[in-house]
Structure 1
Amino acid sequence: MVLDRASLKQESKALLKTARVNPYLFTLLVLAVTLVVSGISNYMNMDDEFAYLYSVQYGIDLSFLALHRAFPALVVLFVSVVCALLNMVLEAGVSLYHLGIRRGEEMPYVTLFDGFSFAGKIILLSIVQYIFVFLWTLLFIVPGIVAAYRYRFAILNLCENPEIGIMEAINMSKAQTAGFKWQLFVLDLSFIGWALLASLTLGILNIWLLPYIAQSNIAFFQEIKKAKGIGFFPPRPEDDGQFHPHDPFGEDNW
């Protein structure tokens, strides 16, 4: 089955305009929060060499930040790990926001922090995915890339139903992406031009681009779930109102 990439991307772009909470202001909030988190990590790691390289790369003199005494290595490591884990949970919050938009729900700005309600699973899932992809990469680069696409929908499965286990989310993603990895790769390639343009605007265009990419990815996710009959499907009026994570054998795929 070949998905209509152009139509799904156009639909995603139009859907963003229907969001009751502005997706571009939400993205601006995301970028601001992640910048603060990254800034804390960078500050802890700051030294003269880091400040010099940053100044050369961005033309900003940060030498004053390197005037603090060096922090103990264990403290630096702890803060770096905590910041990395925070970013994982915040990324899940972004997914929750965009999944809600597609359902037509009002997703407030605090949705960004909703992932903290099941942060343990988010973090564990991210770590397991990283290990799997890393192990495949040891064989060669291409198997690592394929593995990344294989587990691409795991976080979306978990966000749609936080009650499932991380391996169930991963296995669902493996089943969902089977036969669709190339189309997902082409979807990513279709945004390269926009990404290059965003870099020329010092990242400002990302405020518009990132929601577009997120919704397009979720559009593919939803269409693939329908095609495979694997994943979460909202209950229909005639259903019993209970959550059913798997229904691959129904007469239709909703």
Structure 2
Amino acid sequence: MTKINFISKKILDWDWSISGQSVCDPKPVKRAYELLNHSESLITDYSSSFELSDALSNLKRALNQRLKLIEKTYNLKSVKFYDCPKGYLELLEKYGLARPYLIKTLMEIRNKIEHEDAEPPNINRCKELVDVTWYFLKSTDKIVNLKPTDIELEPKKSLKLSDKYGCTMGVKQSNNNSLSISGWFPKTYIYNHEKADSLRIKCSAIHDGLYWKGKEHHEDKTINDIWLVAEIDLDFNEKHLFLKKVFEAV
């Protein structure tokens, strides 16, 4: 029987590490680098303005391809958290995935060439933009090659909690707003009613350490230790915080 409880948001301040990942399709990842490499091949000391324009066009395609892949994988636009920016590059900045200024500069240069027949920048500037694109692709490779599915949480040493506490969070592929959670927590982290600093959980199993009395495992657990298996339904602000923590742990 499902039981509704609440768990302290303090667990979000524990140390996070990735313990399970699903392998993503490598073809879209490879495609961005093909576009980047073609762009780089067009930029030489003797490149014409047409070749430089084509090079910047392919850089923009490489960036757009990667941005679409990130969105397809994580659906970040659907998470309308507090103070959510409108621009996608600014959104990625909120998650610690991009610094948008130089990327936006490339986009703007390419748009002026395409829509206003503007001249491309000089060769050195074009080479710099190649480097910007390369760094962006490299910095986001991890999250588009492997999608985290399971996260281990352990109390930070500064919290001075016993090392018997810890849990695993799992992302349900059918519902990105729902997480599974299982593990051991201090009794003070579990509430019977909602508090300002709590997350709502639907427990399929919950008991204290006395459950293990006389059994082979977890003999160190007491009445002040709680084991639970549950689901957490996140609101958008909580989902944003969760994703940010996941990206930091990757």
Normalized per residue, the structure richer in strand is 2
Normalized per residue, the structure richer in helix is 1
Fold equivalence (TM over 0.5): no
TM-score by length of 2: 0.26
Higher relative contact order (CA 8 A, sep 6+): 2
TM-score by length of 1: 0.26
